[in-house]
Each structure stands twice: as C-alpha cells, then as structure tokens.
Amino acid sequence: MKRFEFSLRRMLSYKEQAKGLEKNKLAQLMAKKHELEDLVESLKLESIKLSNKILKVTQSGVSSIELSNYNFQLQNNRMYLKQLADELYTASLAVEEQLKVVIVATQEVEGLEKLKEKQYEEYLYEDMKAQDLVVSEFVSSKLAREKNSN
C-alpha cells in the first residue's frame, strides 16, 4: 500500500506559517507595550524624585526662577505621562486584537491537525484491512492447494 499523504498538507503548512507570522506580530506588540510600561514607571519615579527635590529646595530657600524651572519640568513630566498613558492604552488594545487573531490561527491549525490524525487513522485501518485480505487469500489458497493435493 502507498505511504500516507495528508490531502490538505499544503493548506496545513500555509496555516502554520500564517500562525507563526501572527505570533511574531503579537510578540512585537507585547514588547512595545512592555517598553511603554517601563517608560511610564521610570517617568513616575523621576517625577517623584523631582517633587521631593522641589520640597527640599523650597525648605532651604530657592529663587523663584529655579522653582519655576522645577515646576516646568514636573509639568512636562505630567504631560508626557498623559501621552504615554494614551499610547499604552492603544498598545494594550492592539495586543488584545492580535491575541484574538493568534487564537483563531491556532484553532485553524489544530482543526487541520485533527483532520490529519483522522485521515491517518483511516489510512491505518484501510492498510490493516488490506493486510488481512492478503493473509486471508494466502490461507485460502494454501488450504485449496492442500485439498487439491489430497
């Protein structure tokens, strides 16, 4: 009997490649999201340090120009944090959407793999039936020869 060949082999290969590409996109989006999260955290820490510095210099005496400079830096940090929060929200939505795409691609591949397994089981069953038929014919012909020789 000929060897097993999955009838949708090319489709399965295509779907696996597509799934790999979608997973790569997801990894890139997640990396961007983590980068934004790290940036937000570092900016928050910088703002806290700056606030503490403002508090410290106001207690020790500072000129109004220096104080306005510190306040300007703090205000810039707040605006940048707001911008980063918006970007982080957008990145989170993109990750969620891409995750859905990866799930669908994974389900498609799994469906084809199950179909492949089923076709392979059918192939094995047909092969076993063919082998049983060969054995039955061999036994029948041997019995017929023994009967004819007697």
Angle between helices 64-149 and 9-60 (to 10 degrees): 160
Nearest Cα to 111, choosing from 20, 25, 19?
A: 19
Would you state the structure tokens that stand for residue 103, as one six-digit string? Answer: 């799930």
Place of tokens 């076709």: 119
pLDDT band (50, 70, 90) for residue 150: low
pLDDT band (50, 70, 90) for residue 29: very high
How confident is the model over 79-126, as pLDDT tens digits? 999 999 999 999 999 999 999 999 999 999 999 999 999 999 999 999
How far, in whole angstroms, is CA 16 from its chain's centroid? 12
pTM beyond 0.85? no
